[in-house]
Each structure stands twice: as structure tokens, then as C-alpha cells.
Chains A and B, each alone.
Chain A
Amino acid sequence: MEIKQVFRTLSEASGVSGYEHDLASHIQDSCPWADEIKTDKLGNLIMLKKGHGTNPKPKVMLAGHMDEIGLIITKIEKDGFLRFGTIGGFDQRVLLAQEVVVHAQKPLTGIIGAKPPHIQAPGEQSKAVSMEDLFIDVGFDNQEQAEEYVRIGDIVTMKRDVLELQGSFMAGKSFDDRAGVAAIVECFKALSQMSHEADVYGVATVQEEVGLRGAITSTYGIVPDIGIAIDVGFGDSPGLPESDTLKLSQGPGIAIGPHVHPKVHARMVETAQEWNISFSLDPSPHPGGTDAYAIQVARAGVATILLSIPLRYMHTPIETLDYEDVKRTGRLMAMFIAGLDYEFVEGLTCF
């Protein structure tokens, strides 16, 4: 199976934070290499690939979040237009004139509109349209028509098919962090051809975008020795300084910072060098913002690392990446896991 195809399907599917249930089944169906699959109380999808060794075996958790940012209906206006708030961080400037799906009693196509430029006051066009002034037009003529299908609290996603750009570049919505989930599936597939001692828990986490919530509870349940969070990182793009970004097509960023265990970092870098997998060093003085932050402080503490897939235009419906970077990330993790033994894991609490 081409996992790129799985990634495509995942990107186009809907799964706003807290509403990831449909995605879980897609992922499950695309990962025949797991020995056990379960969903926990918050909806995290946990896929276990058992190691070949004898107990005690190293326990590795891979976390990529499956949720995407989205919108939520906050009010139905008298004339049938819908007002909305956000779930996760959206730049209000990217919303104008987007096509959306309102997940009402049945899925409704909608358009995000605002007052047209022709009737705006001079000078108004130099200002961003504020979230408060935007609305969704679902084509209903009044509140009654809308209320037949729509309820306060209904979820809205961007309507966007994946685009194939030049080479292996792709663009679409929710690559943040379905790319991470795809990397986990790539890793499982690669591991199926290898011998590995460690039990591997591939977790498609929920609710990362609203506070790393799925990672908090899934890590508590799994109690791993090593946690690897796979998320997207800021790709090089015009206007961003080189030191704040990762180059596309050069493999994942391997983070270094307070949220990264020094020995896991060193081993990850060695693995990449040994197997000739390209990577960038990713210094991260601010540890927050990814599942690694939550995984690290579960229970008595977990040795963690963060791998970042370079991605341009984060939190927009045209997030852009090089799929080869997803593959490199999956392969790097597989090689790292294949090289693990219990002795290494025991050494992680020795400082």
C-alpha cells in the first residue's frame, strides 16, 4: 500500500479537536502492521506493534496528533448567516473567501464572507477583516431554514482537496499533523520488515491544538520509556529568518532543548548519520507547543524527543510539504527503534 495515498485521504477527512472519531477508523484501516489497536477514553488511537525480544522490553511511544484546527458555530443570524469562533489558532486573514463544510445534521457547503470591498470605506482595505465581522454563508434565506440543520456548537472544517505540486511537494489542509500520523504508519510499515526488541505504541493523539490534551492522557495510560513526538515545523519560506526555520526536502528537524533527552537526541543523530538519512538540527529554547511537552512530564517522567517535518504556511488550508520528508521521518524512527535494547533504556535515568 502506498502510504502517500493514506496521507491524502487523512488530509481530506475531517477531524477537528475533540471530533476526531472518523479519522481513527481511517487510520486503523490503513495500518495492517499493528498487532493490537484500541481507542482510549479521550479518543486517542493506540496501535501496538509488539517487539521480538523477551521481557523487559523497551517501550516506545510515537505520537502524531490527528486533530486539525477548525471553526465552531456560535450564532445563527436572522437572515440565515452563521457566526463562528475558532478551535485552535487561525489567522483571521486566511479565512476570508475560503470554502468550508459545516458539519450540521448533514454536511453543508459554506463560504466565508464579509462585506464586499466596493462598499467599504476608504482605508478599510488596508485593515484585516476581523473574525467578528466574518460569517459563513450556507445559502439559507433565514434563521428558520438554517436551524433545521444547524445547531450552535456545530463544527466547521476547510473544504480542500490535496494538491500535487512539483516533484514530491504537496499542499492541503491539516497536514499539521496528519503528516506526523503518516510518518508513524510509514515507520510501522518499515518495522514490519525488521527485527526490533521494543514494543512500539503508535498513537494518533487527539486535541493537541487546544492544549496537548490527548498526549497527557495517552502517555499516562501507556507509561513509555521513550516518547517520540512527530509534528510539523516551520518550513523555510520568504520573510522568515533561516535560524527559525527548517529547509524542506532535507529530512526532519531533530530538536534539541529542555524537552529533549540528551541521550535520545544523540542516538537519533547517530542513527540518521549511520543510515544516511538527511536531517536538520533544530534548536528549541521554548519547549512548549507539541505533544513532546506533555509526554515528558507524565507520571515519573519520560525521555522524549521531537521530530519536526518541515511545513510551509502552517495553520492554513494550503499547508505545503515534501512527502519525501515524511518518508525520511518514518524511516529514521524505524531505524532508531530497531537499534534499541533494554540496556539503553535503563541508562536514560542515569545522569
Chain B
Amino acid sequence: MKTVIRQLTEAFGPSGYETEVTELIKTMVAKHADEVKTDVLGNLIAIKNGSQDGQSIMFAAHTDEIGVVVTHIDDQGFLRFGSVGGVGISTLVGNRVRFAGGAVGAIYQEKGSWKELTLDKLYVDIGAENKEEALKKVKVGEFGIFHREFEDLGDRLIAKSMDDRVGCAVLIEALKKIQNPKNTLYFVFTAQEEVGLRGARTAAYGLEPDLGIALDVTLTGDMPEARRMAVSLGKGAAIKVKDSSLITHPKVKDLLVTLAEENKIPYQMEVLEAGGTDAGAIHLTKAGVPSGAISIPTRYVHSPSEMVDMRDVEACVNLVVALAEKDLASV
């Protein structure tokens, strides 16, 4: 599974331009699903038929990652850029980006104080000596991502775009493991989550599931002087109670807790005070879809060094499998 996570986190897929990631996932899920398709927004949908008619579950993990877009190239060949999704300014200076066409560059700042740092005071140096040379490597309007390789620290892993490739990896692994699906399962690898839960919205509209579950990363509070939050790395799958996009349906929350307890899967309860997930979009689809989320505790989210714990990842896989095999008609 670590290999899958490595491959996924090293792929290129800023919001709207997720094709490389979806193509990779397609090769991983093709033989385990009954049907695989894509849609207008760029969602990849893998369908596994259930053993009985009626209930369907949509699992969603997003393929896109935060990134940058080139907005200007100056005469000296330096690039200016805008953000794609919620990019944290403090993670940028000295960082590297890689563009769709392959160009790599370093981000640095104009003179001035850290406190007043804004995106338009930063630039990317792609090693071009002038505008003409730069234009051979990148175009204005080209998208890029933060360039960083995967690190295996043992139980814990660091990579860029763990948010949410680790969620994709959980779904891929679960899909392989599921033996007796009682429900029709839609594994949706969604596009454009980071810019407003967009892919999940159109996918859910087409699929009309009975239950929606997002697999995404959540924050933790177990670092030095961290913002208060009762989620820690290594303490199990996080069952979401609320975030800014969703209040988990109480019955869905209780079902996930019961499943975790019955199957001895370590879990923790998650109250996320800012941020949202695809479940936020899914539950407002048409006349409403009861929804919840299983979260992978992750440190340093939206930095190029997002850290997860494999034990939590495995707990999430097991919880997805348990839910997929549960007879929902009985709940």
C-alpha cells in the first residue's frame, strides 16, 4: 500500500488538471471494479455491483491537490503566480514548484517583512535568463504543483498531496479487499475539491446514492503548541462529527462508531472547526443524501510535507470495508 501512496502522491494533479492522477488510478482499480467511467468535471467513477438491489453508497476521495497558476512572466524571466486552492503563504518561500510542462522552479520573495507577505510579493525562478527563455518552458495560465518527493519514515509517511491521495489510496485498497459487497458501491475519485467541492457535487447528482461517505484528511492537535483539537496521529480512523461543510447525519455517525467497535477498528471522534470535505457537497444533492466522513489524521495539511500514520490509514481501509459489506437495508 505504501507503493500506491508513493505513486499517487508523486503524481501531478492540481485542481481542474487531475488527468495524470485519474489515469494512474484507473490502472489500479480497473480489474477490481465492474465498471469505470469519467465525467465532464473529470471525476473517475469505479462501480462495484452489490449482491442485492436497493441501497447504494458513494465513497468520495479527491484526486486534486492545491497548486499555483502562472499569471505573469517578466523581462528577466521570473514568474508571478496565483494560488489554486487554499495555499498557505508561510509554506511557500524556498519551496519548489513543478509545472504541467515539466519546468521546475524555486519560490522566493521580494524584500519586505514576513508579516506583510502576500502572494503577489512572491515569484518563481525557473532558471531562465530572460522572458524568451522562460516562455520556452512555461506559459501564462499554466498550472503547477508543489514539487516534493515521498518519504517513508516507518509507520509514518511524509509527502505532498497526502491531501487527498491518501484518501484515494484508502479507497483503492478497500476496493481490492471487499469480498461481499451488500450494497452497490460507487468509488468516486473526485475532481476540484480544493476549489469548492465541485466534482463531488456533479458526481453525486448523477449517481443519487442512498449514503455518501467522504474519505479525506483531517487536522490533528498533537504537535507542539498546536491549535486545540482532539485528534492525534496513530489513534485510529477519525469519524467526523462536523466541519464547516457538513454536520454528519447522527445515524451515519452512530453507524460508523458501531462498525468500528464491532470490528475492533481503532477510531477517534473528529470535530473540525474549519475546512470542508466532499461530503458537504454530497449531502445537499437533490432532495438530500445522508452523509458522513471518515478522515485520515494528517499533520501539516496544505504544506508540501503532509504526514500520516499507516496504522490510521489501515484503520480507515478496514472501516470502509466494514461499511461496504454492511447490509444497509437493516439500518
Contacts and interface: CB of A to CB of B under 8 A. Distances in A.
A–B contact via C-beta, under 8 angstroms = yes
Interface of A: 17-19, 21, 40-42, 44, 72-76, 83, 85, 87, 132, 151-153, 207, 210, 213, 216-218, 220-221
A41 B242 contact: no
Per CB-CB distance, the 9 closest pairs between chain A and chain B, nearest first, are A18-B247, A153-B241, A217-B288, A221-B287, A152-B269, A42-B288, A41-B288, A75-B230, A153-B269
Given A75-B229, A207-B247, A153 B271 contact: yes
Given A21-B250, A75-B228, A75-B230, A217 B287 contact: yes
Contacts of A153: 241-242, 253, 269-271
Contact of B284 (A44, A151, A216): A216
Interface residues of B, number: 25
Nearest to B210: A41
A86 B169 CA distance: 33
A74 B241 CA distance: 10
A21 B270 CA distance: 22
Interface of B: 221, 228-230, 241-242, 244, 247-250, 253, 268-271, 273, 283-290
Contacts of B230: 74-76, 152
B314 to A, nearest CB: 22
Nearest to A299: B286
8 contacts: A18-B242, A75-B221, A83-B228, A132-B228, A151-B269, A152-B269, A153-B269, A217-B288
Contacts of A83: 228
B284 A18 contact: no
A52 B244 CA distance: 43
Contact of B287 (A41, A76, A132, A152): A41
Contacts of A220: 286-288
Nearest to B285: A217
A218 B287 CA distance: 6
Nearest to A17: B247
Contact of A72 (B241, B253, B285, B286): B241
- Residue of A21, A74, A216 with most chain B CB atoms under a 10 A cut-off: A74
Nearest to A219: B287
Nearest to A44: B288
B212 to A, nearest CB: 11
A288 B15 CA distance: 28
B247 A87 contact: yes
A259 B288 CA distance: 23
B284 A217 contact: yes
A232 B269 CA distance: 34
Contacts of A213: 283-284
Given A152-B268, A153-B241, A217-B286, 17 more contacts: A42-B249, A42-B290, A44-B288, A72-B271, A74-B230, A74-B273, A75-B221, A83-B228, A132-B228, A152-B241, A152-B269, A152-B270, A152-B271, A210-B244, A217-B288, A218-B287, A218-B288
Contacts of A210: 244, 247
Contacts of A85: 271, 273
Nearest to A152: B269
Contacts of B249: 18, 42
A98 B298 CA distance: 35
A132 B249 CA distance: 26
Contacts of A221: 286-288
B287 A74 contact: no
B190 to A, nearest CB: 19
Nearest to B290: A41
A19 B250 CA distance: 7
B288 A40 contact: yes
Nearest to A132: B228
